[in-house]
Structures are given as C-alpha cells and as structure tokens.
Amino acid sequence: MSTLNSVDRVELCDSLLTWIQTFGLEAPCRTVDDLTSGIVMAQALQKIDIVYFTDNWISRIKPEVGDNWRLKISNLKKVLKGILDYNQEVLQQQINDFTLPDINLIGEHSDAAELGRMLQLILGCAVNCEQKQEYIQTIMMLEESVQHVVMTAIQELMSKECPVMGGNDSYADIDRQLKKTVEDLNEALATKEEIAQRCHELDMQAFHVQEQRDRLRLEYIELEERVAALQEERGSLLAENQILMERLNQSDSIEDLNSPVGRRHLQLQTQLEQLQEETFRLEAAKDDYRIRCEELEKELTELRGQNEELTSLADEAQTLKDEMDVLRHSSDKVSKLEVMVESYKKKLEDLGDLRRQVKLLEEKNTLYMQNTVSLEEEVRKANTTRGQLESYKRQVVELQNKLSEESKKTDKMEFEYKRLKEKVDSLQKEKDRMRSERDSLKETIEELRFVEAQEGQLSTGMVPLDSNEGSDSLAAEIVTPEIREKLIRLQHENNMLKLAQEGSDNENIALLQSLLEDANSRKNELETENRLVNQRLIEGQSQVEELQRSLQEQGSKADDSIILKKKNDAHMEKLREVNSELQKKCAHIDDLEPKYTSSSQKVEELEEALKKKDEDMKQMEDRYKKYLEKAKSVIRTLDPKQNQGSAPEVQTLKNQLQERERMLHSLEKDYDKTKAQRDQEEKLIVSAWYNMGMALQKKAAEDRLASTGSGQSFLARQRQATSTRRSYPGYPGPQSATAR
C-alpha cells in the first residue's frame, strides 16, 4: 500500500467525504462547502466519543454562520483544538511531523486539500476510539477505491502518531502487549497463507470445470445440429420413398430386377436400410450424449454450489486481507514502539552519565562562583577608583575653563592698554593739529563770520545723520561666543568619549591619552586663533567708535567726509576680512565634526541666510555711500540763499536714515533668531552623539559580559551587569547633555 504522498489531496477529501456520510448526521454533508462551517465535523466527533465531546462542547460551535468566513474559522479552530486535545488526553497520543490543516484556507476559500487534512484527523480519532471495530467494519463496506484511499490515510496518520509514555513502570506491560500482538500477527499471517492457498486451488478447479463445461456444451450443440440434419434428410427420403411407392404402384412390377424400376427400387431399398442403420446409430449416440449431458448438468450444479462456497470464502479472504492490512499497520506501530523502547533504554543509560557530568559541572560552577566573587570585589574597587578619576577629570576641565577665561581677560586688558596708548598718541597729534588750525582759523575768522550761523545749523542737522550710523549693528553681527560655544561642545564631546572608553581594556588607555593630548593641542591652537579673532574684533569695535566720534565732531566739514568715507571703507574691509576668517574657522570646526553630517544641510541653509544678510549689509552700505555723496553735494552747493529750501531735503535724508536703522534692527533680530536656532540644533546634535556613544559603550560592555559570563550562573551574570552599570557614576542623561 502506497503512502499518502502519492495520493491526491483532493481525492483524499472526496473519499473522506464519502466516509463521513456513513455517520448519518443531521447536518448536510454532500459537498465541501457543507463541511467548511465545522458543524458536520463537530457532530461526527460527538458520535465518535459522546463522553468527551459533550453537548456543552457542541454548544460552543455556532450553528448559523452563513457566508461569514470569520465565524467559520472560529468554529474550525474549536474543532481542531478538540481533536488535538482528544488525541493527547484520551488516546494518549501525540501527532508529530504532521502538517496541521490551514483553517483560514478552509473557512475563507473552501480549500479541499486542507479540508482533507482536517477529515484525516477525524478519521484518526475514529479508528483509535473504543468503538473502532464498528468504524473499521464501516470502512470495509465502502467501495474498493475509497477503501484504498482511506486505509492509506490511516497508515500515514499512524506513522505520525507517538504514544505518550507514562514512565518506566509501563515498559513491562508494553512488552507483553507487543509480544501478544506479534504472536497474533504471526497466526493471522499463517491463516492468511493457508486461505490464500486454498483459494488458489479452488480457483484452479473452478477454471478446469468451467473449461470442461464449455467444451461439452459445444459438443452437445454440434450433435443437436447433426441430429436435426439427419432428421431432415430422413424426412426427405421418406417423402421420396412415398412418391416412389406411388409411382411403383402405377408402373410395372418392381420384382423385375432387370427393369429400371426394379433397379431403382433395389437401390433405394439399400439406401433406406443404410439410413435406418445410421438413424439407429445416431439415436443411440443421442441417448448417450443426453445421459452425458445430464451428468454434466449435475456436475455443473455441484460446481455452482462449490463456486458459491468459494465466493463466500473469497469474501472472507478479502475481509482477512483487510484485517491483515490493519495488523500490518499494528506491526509497523509495534516496530516503532520497540525502537522507542530501545531509545528510552539508551536514554536511561545516558542519564547516569549525565548525572555524573552534572556533579562535575556543579563542582566547576562552585569554583567559578568563588572566582566571580573575587572578580566582583576587584570590580568594586575599580569602580571606586574610577569615580575618583572622574572627579579629578571634572576638576581638570573646570580649571582649564577658568584658565581660558583668565587668558581671555588678560588678552582683553592688554588690548585695552594698547588701544588707550594709541588713543593718547592720537589725541596728542590731534592737539598739535588743532593748534595749527587755530592759528589759521584766527586769520579766516572774519571771512567766515557771515556764514557761521548757517554752518552751525548744517552741522546740527548732520549730527543725527552721523549719529545714526549702523556700525554698531554691523559689529553686533559678529558673534564671538559661537566659537567659544563650539569649543565647549568639542571639549564636552571629548569628555564623553573619554567616559565611554573608560570601560574598555587597559590597552586603549595609551591611545586615549595620545588622542587627548592631540585634542588639547588642537584646543590650544583654536584658543589662540580665537584670541587673535577677539583682538581683531576689539580693534574693529574701537575703530568704529573712533569713526562715530569723528563723525560727530567733524560731520559739518566736506573734506573730512571724504576722510570718513575712506576710514569707513577701510573699516568695512577689515570687517569683511574678520567675517571671512570667522567663516573659515567655522568651516574648519565643521570639518572636525564628521559625525554631524545629518545637520550639514541645515548649516548650509544658515550660511546662505548669513550670505543673504551680508548682501543686505552691502546694499545698505551702498545706500549709505549714496547718502554721503548726496550730503556732500548738498554741502558743496549750500549757500545762504538756499538755506531755507534745504530743510525738506535734510528731513528726507533723516527719514531715510531712520528707515535704514529700522531695517538694520529687523536684520539684527533675524540674525539673533537664526543664531538661537543654530545653537539649539548644535545642542541636539551633541546630545544625539552623546547618546549614541553611551549606547555603543553599553553594547560593548554587554558583549564583554556575555563572553566572560557564559559559564557562570544567572545570579553571577546579574551581579556583573549591575556592577558594570555602577561603573559609570558620571553618566548624565540627555537633558544634562543638552544643558551643557
């Protein structure tokens, strides 16, 4: 009998559908769709074992599902769970290596193959329950093709079943049952061979009798045909004889042998005698054949009786053959049970070895625990020293910050000293120049007396024009704390990296120290560059202040406005140089931060915004130059007659300057917002980088714990994990990192 792998699953479903119809259920079970609701299968299970599948269990199956595939799947889940529980709890069997049916395909798509698997499980429950003989007899009454498929399904299902063993006490009962089953199987095999031999002999006898019967029937038919022919010939001869007798009476005497009639009469008489002899002979043969035919009919009746007996024996042989198939399945099951018994015996033998190994491992575990306790003590000591080292490092960082602040203050004081000294020199020179101008002015005082009042008014009108200078706003755009904040962030990142690397092996300490020295040297270089930039900024601020003072003092002089323009251009050029240097420093600092690639786009946008602000400042400078040129032209063309008409034009210039101041003020606000946004983004980037470093450090620590604690107990590994977490007392959260 072939396995179920060669049987079509759809054919299996059709055969099991025919088998399920023998239960006589209330629900219809003609097609596959009738079984997808699960009601038919639940009723069949209740007929198989009404004690286990009670009415309470049946009540959980929803009867009215209609086309709702979700309710069908729910019913099928309950039926499948009931089948598996019945196999495990009642039949004490567990189905292994058997593909369970996909109830989703059955409920939603009415899949015949998966429904066949479901019915196969129900078939296994039927042939293994207490009334299994009744169900086996019912299977024997089915058609031969259906019976073959059902038996193949039973064989596959039994090959997947594994009995639940109770313990070592049941081995003796199982051995006795196996021996009894093997003896019954051997007796059944011997009986089957005898019955098969007897059936073969009876088949041969029936075949020979049938051949002899056919041969005699053919001979009887031939004899009947010959007798009929002879009777016809006899009738014709008698008619001819009658005619001849009539003719003889009418003709001459037949006694004369020399006459033609006499010769013909003699010839016919001789022929008549021969025919009579042949007729007697044929009648005798006919009687013999009739007797033989009666004997053959008696033999045929006897053979028919024997044939009926042989038919009943053949049916019995078929029944025995089916029982042999069942016994063969039992035999396969017995062989599997024997193999399982042998495997369990080997496992019992191995169990003693495993117990000895467990004792050895427990001893080793005790030694490992002692080593673990000692290592934990060392780790605690190391954590104490690590905490002290962290406090020392924080103190060093604070001292370095204080040192940098003091150095900045010192540089600022030195620059203030130089600026004041230069200012004193310039004032001395200005004093000398003013003395010379005083002498010249005494000579021209009489000439300028007439226009003195007008020049005073013009100077008072130009003072607010010059006093509203936007140099303060230009200087305000140069934000010096950015580089300082980035340095603090780099320093904080360096500290975080040092904290992350403290938990690694001692081999990395030398490398970290070298990296720290490089970072410190780089930090010192950046601080030096920052000092130079600050000095330049302070110089620019001082020059702007000087320009403002000079504008306030000399705003009424046209020649001095040209000098003011030159100084302003030189000042703006210096501001551009400082701005370009600041941009270079920012780009260089950004190159030192390769991990911040995610924020590069935002930085570029901010740089574009700064460039736009620079362009706006250039435009404002151009407008300022135009205003200066216009003021110069007004001063050149100013005379006493046009004094009254110049007041509206001066007022227009004042309005334009006020509008320019408002625009500069709005640009300063935009710049402050952009700066605050960029600072916030940098803080978020530093916080993300810090969290990533801590996550990598934690992962590395867990990997080391996993590699070193694989042979230790659970409590020992937990102690190591706890001590590892305690080894980072200076770990700040994301909020503290952001605050820094």
Q: Encode pLDDT of 49-80 as tens digits.
A: 889 999 889 888 888 888 888 888 989 999 99
Q: Rounded to 5 degrees, what are φ and ψ at 101?
A: -70, 145
Q: Which long-range contacts (CB under 8 A, 24 or more apart) does 375-379 make?
A: 376/719, 376/720, 376/723, 379/720, 379/723, 379/724, 379/727
The torsion region of residue 475 among left (phi > 0), alpha (psi -120 to 50) and beta comes to alpha
**What mean pLDDT is predicted for residues 551-577?**
62
Q: Encode pLDDT of 314-341 as tens digits.
A: 777 777 777 777 777 777 777 788 888 8
Least confident interval from 219-228, 249-258, 266-275, 519-528: 249-258
Top pLDDT among 472 and 64 is at 64
d(CA 567, CA 173): 117
pLDDT band at 471 (very low <50, low <70, confident <90, very high): very low
d(CA 120, CA 101): 10
pLDDT band at 474 (very low <50, low <70, confident <90, very high): very low
Rounded percentage of the chain residues whose pLDDT exceeds 90:
2
Taking the CA atoms of 301, 307, 313 and 316 in sequence, report the sign of the dihedral they define. Answer: negative
d(CA 507, CA 661): 62
In this predicted structure, the answer to whether residue 458 has a pLDDT above a threshold of 50 is no
> Are residues 706 and 366 in contact, defined by beta-carbon separation less than 8 angstroms?
no
In this predicted structure, the answer to whether residue 738 has a pLDDT above a threshold of 50 is no
What pLDDT was estimated at residue 289? 81
What pLDDT was estimated at residue 351? 83
> % helix / strand / coil in the chain, to the nearest 5?
85, 0, 15
Q: Encode pLDDT of 79-113 as tens digits.
A: 999 999 898 888 887 777 788 899 889 888 888 88
Q: How many helices (H) and strands (E) does the chain have?
A: 20, 2
d(CA 633, CA 645): 15
**What mean pLDDT is predicted for residues 735-739?**
39
3-class state of residue 252 by DSSP: coil
Residue 394 pairs in a beta bridge with: none
Query: Which one, of 651, 601, 705, 662, lies nearest residue 376 by Cα?
Result: 705
Taking the CA atoms of 122, 127, 132 and 134 in sequence, report the sign of the dihedral they define. Answer: positive
Of the segments 156-170, 613-627, 674-688, which one has the largest average pLDDT value? 674-688
The CA-based dihedral angle spanning residues 704, 710, 712, 718, taken in that order and rounded to the nearest 10 degrees: 50
3-class state of residue 95 by DSSP: strand
Q: What is the 3-state secondary structure (H, E, C) of 548-596?
A: HHHHHHHCCCHHHHHHHHHHHHHHHHHHHHHHHHHHHHHHHHHHCCHHH
Burial of 301 (0-12, 13-18, 19+ CB in 10 A): exposed
The torsion region of residue 668 among left (phi > 0), alpha (psi -120 to 50) and beta comes to alpha
Is pTM beyond 0.75? Reply is no
Query: Which one, of 146, 162, 158, lies nearest residue 7 by Cα?
Result: 146
pLDDT band at 478 (very low <50, low <70, confident <90, very high): very low
Q: Encode pLDDT of 378-418 as tens digits.
A: 888 878 877 777 777 788 788 878 877 887 777 778 787 78
d(CA 479, CA 578): 11
d(CA 422, CA 425): 5
Q: Cα separations (Å) of 314 from 173, 211, 435, 570?
A: 37, 21, 153, 127
What pLDDT was estimated at residue 172? 53
The CA-based dihedral angle spanning residues 45, 49, 55, 58, taken in that order and rounded to the nearest 10 degrees: -20
d(CA 27, CA 366): 67
What pLDDT was estimated at residue 728? 42
Least confident interval from 75-79, 179-183, 449-453, 553-557: 553-557
Query: Which one, of 647, 630, 739, 648, lies nearest residue 690 by Cα?
Result: 739
Q: Encode pLDDT of 7-55 as tens digits.
A: 478 888 889 989 988 888 888 888 888 888 889 999 999 999 889 999 8
d(CA 78, CA 93): 19
d(CA 542, CA 416): 9
d(CA 436, CA 440): 7
pLDDT band at 680 (very low <50, low <70, confident <90, very high): confident
What pLDDT was estimated at residue 648? 67
Work out the end-to-end distance of the chain between its first and last CA atoms, rounded to an integer number of angstroms.
81
Mean pLDDT, the chain, integer:
73
Per DSSP, which regions of 189-319 are E strands?
A: none
Q: Encode pLDDT of 653-667 as tens digits.
A: 777 777 877 877 788
Structure tokens at 128: 């293994």
Per DSSP, which regions of 157-292 are E strands?
A: 161-163
Q: Encode pLDDT of 223-235 as tens digits.
A: 778 778 877 887 8
CATH class (in words) of the domain with range 4-164: mainly alpha
Structure tokens at 408: 């900045």
Q: What is the DSSP string of 144-169?
A: HHHHHHHHHHHHHHHHHEEE----GG
Domain positions in the chain are 4-164, 461-698+726-739
Structure tokens at 360: 């050895």
> Are residues 560 and 434 in contact, defined by beta-carbon separation less than 8 angstroms?
no
d(CA 727, CA 704): 14
**What mean pLDDT is predicted for residues 142-162?**
82
3-class state of residue 3 by DSSP: coil
Token match 């007899």: residue?
137
Top pLDDT among 153 and 502 is at 153
What pLDDT was estimated at residue 184? 64
**Rg (alpha carbons) of the chain, rounded to whole number:** 62
> Helical H runs in 478-508?
481-501
Structure tokens at 328: 């063969």
What pLDDT was estimated at residue 609? 72
What pLDDT was estimated at residue 643? 47
Residue 93 pairs in a beta bridge with: 163
